[in-house]
Structure formats: structure tokens, C-alpha cells
């Protein structure tokens, strides 16, 4: 998420807070301060009351962080990349790339968060035997919160944890893509149900969560469907062969003339043997000082081979925030180029054909 600030790093995972967290922190501190027992501290004296309201609020998000760390731990164990954990107004989210498509692995990853919350609830319940009224109140709130957090996340409202558990159970029978479609439909139904309940109660928080789930289910379904389509194609099927390349000694104006002629906004920079040594884009030419391509080109170039799958290329483009990638042979010579537009165009064509031709069904994973 944008507008997030990293606060620390644990097990190689950046933990960030979104600016929206400030609103819920202030609200929860006030709520614990004024609420009567057993969910607040209004019956305690001033200093104790305020301190415990703050401590309980921080502990709330500590429990949410532990919930997300349980997901992230198993994600790392199964070879996924965890870009970070973000705490925000709705709780927390683990930013995990390459979620395993093996049903058993996804099941473990999805169930780990709720199980972590249940573990904290159990520990809090056991510790309530300590004869201290302030600590007993705190532990009761922690027990109740973690129990509800675990149960709520097990609701089969995809892409929540329960929805991912449902998908993992379905994927073993019908494949990953079809299971995602079914789980997304169930998630949208649960979101509509939550929204109706939220309107009747009324509860604005439940309505916002329902909206979050509804949009998330649709986005996840589109992403998995696109990934399934693109996984059928390799770079050699969609690349533009023999692309226009430039030399490092070329003047900037000459490259701009090429852009006007060929209508491309970026070109590989090659040496005398045709091996890629950089990339130059319109942004480089306009924003960086210098007279030649060598002065402004990007030297850290991401390259791919013709055998790379299209879904993998899209991930590389997204992760590196670039619009095009040179395709090279075994000797490093440029033989083609692939852009984000190429990939999306293939997806659109296949999507249209899938409605008119029996030869283009929606792909699925084995």
C-alpha cells in the first residue's frame, strides 16, 4: 500500500503502518477509556484507566501483527516472497507474491493466521487465573478479541482467510482457476450478506468490510484468470522480433527522432555485438542531463529468454515497475522485446476468443 511507513523489520519482513491506522488508534483508545467492564476501563482511576486504554489498543494491533506473521512465516517456508505486512484501519494484510497453487500449502498458509489468533486467545484465557483486577480485565479483552478475530477470519468470504481455506479445499477437486471463481462467488455473496446486516444493525464498520471483501474477491478472480491465460504462452509467441536498438554513442535527439518515427517509448541499448547493455526511455531523455544515450540510459537491465512464460513476464514488469523487457538469446544478444501492452493485448484477444471458439477454453492448473 502507498502512504505506508516502515516501523521495523522482522525475519526479513518489513512491517509498515498506513496513515489510516492513526484514526482507528485514536478511536480505540477513546473507546477503551469510556467503555464499562468487561470491555473497557471506565471503572478504574484516571491514570490506570488511560494507560490501560493505550496498552490495550497497542496490544490489539500486536495481535493482528502476530496473525499476519503466522501467514507470512509459512509463505516464506513454502518459497513465496513476502513484500511486507501493512497495518491499517481495517486491521492488517500480508503482501505475499506467488501464493502456492498447491491446495495443501495454501490451506496451511490460510489457516495459520486464525490458528495464531486462537493460540493467543488460549494463552490469555489461561493467564486469567492471575489474581490482579487490571491484568484480569486486559487478559479478558485479549481473550475475547483474539477469539473473535480467529472466528471472523474463518468466514468463507474470499479473499479473507476462510475464503482461501475454501479455495484450497475446492482446488484439489476442480483446479485452481475454477476454485478461485467459486470462492470469489461465495465471497461476493458473503459480502452482500454482511452489508445487509450492517445496514440493519446499523454498523458502518461491517459495511466497509463488506465493500472491501466484495472488491477484493473480484480483483483476485481477475488476477488468477489473467495469470491462467498468460501461463499458456511463452515470450517467443508474443514478442516483437528484431526490435529497433540504439547505440550508446547516439545523440539524444536522434533517439527522439526514432521515437517519433516508430512510436515506441523505450529502446534497448546494445554494443557492437548486439548484446544489451542498457535501456533508454523517453523519460530518461527528457529528465536526465547529458548529450548522448550513454549519459542517460539505465544500465541495470532486466532481460528474459524466449522460453519465459507470459505470466512470469507480467510479474517481472509489475515488480520492477517497467513497461518493456528485452528478449535475449543464450549469448545475450537482443532478439526481441515484450511490452506490458503486448501482454494485455494477448489476454484481451484470448478472452474474446474464449466466448466464440471451442478451441479457447479458460485454462486451469493441474
Q: Which residues are catalytic?
A: 68
Helix H, strand E, coil C: the string for the chain is CCCEEEEEEECCEEEEEECCHHHHHHHHHHHHHHCCCCCCCCCCCHHHHHHHHHHHHHHHHHHHHHHHHHHHHHHHHCCCEEEEEEEECCEEEEEEECCCCCHHHHHHHHHHHHHHHHHHHHHHHHHCCCCCHHHHHHHHHHHHHHHHHHHHHCCCCCCCHHHHHHHHHHHHHHCHHHHHHHHHHHHHHHHHHHHHHHHHCCCHHHHHHHHHHHHHHHHHHHHHHHHHHHCCCEHHHHCEECCCCEECCCEHHHHHHHHHHHCCCEEEEECCCCEEEEEEEHHHHHHCCCCEHHHHCECCCCCECCCCEHHHHHHHHHHHCCCEEEEECCCCEEEEEEEHHHHHHHHHHHHHHCCCCCCCCCCCCC
Number of C-beta neighbours around residue 355 at 10 A: 7
Residue 337 pairs with which residues in a beta bridge? 240, 326
Phi, psi of 309 (to 5 degrees): -80, 155
Residue 93 pairs with which residues in a beta bridge? 86
β-pairing, 13-18 with 81-88? parallel
Instruction: Give the CA radius of gyration of the chain.
Output: 26
Tell me the three cell numbers of residue 190.
Answer: 458473503
Amino acid at each position: 500500500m502507498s502512504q505506508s511507513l516502515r516501523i521495523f523489520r522482522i525475519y526479513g519482513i518489513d512491517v509498515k503502518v498506513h496513515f489510516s491506522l492513526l484514526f482507528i488508534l485514536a478511536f480505540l483508545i477513546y473507546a477503551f477509556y469510556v467503555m464499562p467492564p468487561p470491555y473497557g476501563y471506565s471503572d478504574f482511576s484516571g491514570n490506570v484507566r488511560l494507560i490501560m486504554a493505550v496498552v490495550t489498543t497497542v496490544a490489539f494491533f500486536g495481535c493482528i501483527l502476530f496473525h499476519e506473521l503466522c501467514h507470512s512465516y509459512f509463505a516464506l517456508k513454502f518459497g513465496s516472497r513476502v513484500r511486507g505486512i501493512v497495518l491499517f484501519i481495517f486491521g492488517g494484510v500480508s503482501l505475499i507474491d506467488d501464493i502456492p497453487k498447491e491446495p495443501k500449502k495454501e490451506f496451511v498458509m490460510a489457516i495459520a493466521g486464525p490458528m495464531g489468533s486462537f493460540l493467543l486467545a488460549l494463552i490469555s484465557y489461561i493467564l486469567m487465573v492471575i489474581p490482579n483486577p487490571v491484568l484480569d480485565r486486559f487478559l479478558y479483552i485479549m481473550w475475547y478479541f483474539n477469539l473473535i478475530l480467529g472466528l471472523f477470519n474463518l468466514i468463507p468470504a474470499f479473499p479473507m482467510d476462510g475464503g482461501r481455506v475454501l479455495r484450497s479445499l475446492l482446488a484439489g477437486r476442480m483446479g485452481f482457476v475454477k476454485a478461485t471463481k467459486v470462492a470469489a462467488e461465495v465471497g461476493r455473496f458473503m459480502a452482500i450478506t454482511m452489508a445487509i446486516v450492517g445496514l440493519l444493525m446499523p454498523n458502518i464498520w461491517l459495511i466497509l468490510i463488506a465493500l472491501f471483501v466484495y472488491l477484493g474477491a473480484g480483483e483476485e478472480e481477475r488476477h488468477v484468470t489473467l495469470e491462467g491465460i498468460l501461463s499458456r504462452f511463452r515470450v517467443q509467441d508474443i514478442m516483437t522480433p528484431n526490435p529497433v536498438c540504439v547505440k550508446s554513442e547516439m545523440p539524444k535527439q536522434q533517439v527522439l527522432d526514432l521515437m517519433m518515427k516508430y512510436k515506441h517509448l523505450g529502446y534497448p541499448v546494445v554494443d557492437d555485438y548486439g548484446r544489451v547493455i542498457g535501456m533508454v526511455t523517453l523519460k530518461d531523455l527528457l529528465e536526465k542531463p547529458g548529450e548522448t544515450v550513454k549519459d542517460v540510459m539505465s544500465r541495470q537491465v532486466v532481460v528474459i529468454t524466449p522460453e519465459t512464460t507470459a505470466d512470469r513476464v507480467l510479474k517481472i514488469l509489475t515488480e520492477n515497475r517497467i513497461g518493456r523487457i528485452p528478449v535475449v538469446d543464450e549469448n545475450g544478444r537482443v532478439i526481441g522485446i515484450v511490452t506490458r501492452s503486448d501482454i494485455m493485448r494477448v489476454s484481451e484477444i484470448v478472452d474474446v476468443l474464449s466466448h466464440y471458439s471451442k478451441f479457447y477454453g479458460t485454462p486451469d492448473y493441474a
